[in-house]
């Protein structure tokens, strides 16, 4: 009872609500999780799927012929292609729910390998049924690789052997694995701080 004789139910309910909100804010501070919107953290599996979708978008986007772009928009298109190409591991790493002190754990190394393998699979499918892009500015090259692989001698201007196709796929996987691993490590370090040290020693120390 309050000094005036009124029940304390409302006060207790308010204290409980405030405590729950404080606990929720503390949990979000630990995990870095947003409550809503684009930056809301998500699961490991969904982060990999999103990264793979970004790579697939780049792989299809780069097949657009150069002549499709107006001269004034072509530099912007190249910039967008560059960003999308290198975005998958950074985006996926930033989307995974993780504590700020976790930094690098085994699952992030696994994520780089899984994402590289998934993106290589997407690359193979697009190469087989759509084609490979021309370098360095993109655009279709010789058409679907599946037609080149099974073309009879002399029936295709640019035939492709199975060995060459496999070697190209392995080279793509090796490049993606190396880059995704480096990008994942750098993104995690940037999220948790590249350096952490404590000063001064003893009580009242501060971690930077």
Domain ranges, ordered by start, for the chain:
1-31, 41-207
Return contacts of 132-136, CB within 8 angstroms, 24+ apart.
133/59, 133/62, 133/63
Q: Are 42 and 97 in contact (CB under 8 A)?
A: yes
Q: Is the pTM here over 0.85, yes or no?
A: no
> DSSP assignment, residue 204?
T
The pLDDT of residue 160: 86
- Separation of alpha carbons 44 and 97, rounded Å: 8
Distance linking the first and last C-alpha atoms of the chain = 47
pLDDT digits (tens, 9 = 90+) for 22-70: 566 555 544 444 444 455 678 889 999 999 999 999 999 999 988 888 9
CA distance 56 to 120: 10
Note the pLDDT tens digit of each residue in 119-174: 999 999 999 999 999 876 778 888 899 988 888 766 666 788 899 999 999 999 99
């Amino acid at each position: 009872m309050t000094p005036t004789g009124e029940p304390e139910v409302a006060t207790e309910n308010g204290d409980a609500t405030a405590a729950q909100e404080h606990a929720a804010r503390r949990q979000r501070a630990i995990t870095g999780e947003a409550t809503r919107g684009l930056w809301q953290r998500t699961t490991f599996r969904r982060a990999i799927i999103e990264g793979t979708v970004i790579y697939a978008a780049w792989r299809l986007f780069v097949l657009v012929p150069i002549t499709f772009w107006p001269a004034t928009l072509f530099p912007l298109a190249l910039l967008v292609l560059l960003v999308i190409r290198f975005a998958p591991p950074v985006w996926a790493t930033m989307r995974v729910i993780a504590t700020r002190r976790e930094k690098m754990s085994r699952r992030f190394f696994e994520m780089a390998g899984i994402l590289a393998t998934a993106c290589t699979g997407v690359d193979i499918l697009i190469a087989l049924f759509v084609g490979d892009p021309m370098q360095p500015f993109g655009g279709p090259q010789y058409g679907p690789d599946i037609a080149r692989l099974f073309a009879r001698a002399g029936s295709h201007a640019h035939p492709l052997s199975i060995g060459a196709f496999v070697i190209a796929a392995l080279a793509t996987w090796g490049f993606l694995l190396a880059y995704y691993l480096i990008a994942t490590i750098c993104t995690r370090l940037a999220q948790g701080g590249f350096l952490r040290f404590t000063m001064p020693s003893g009580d009242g120390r501060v971690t930077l």
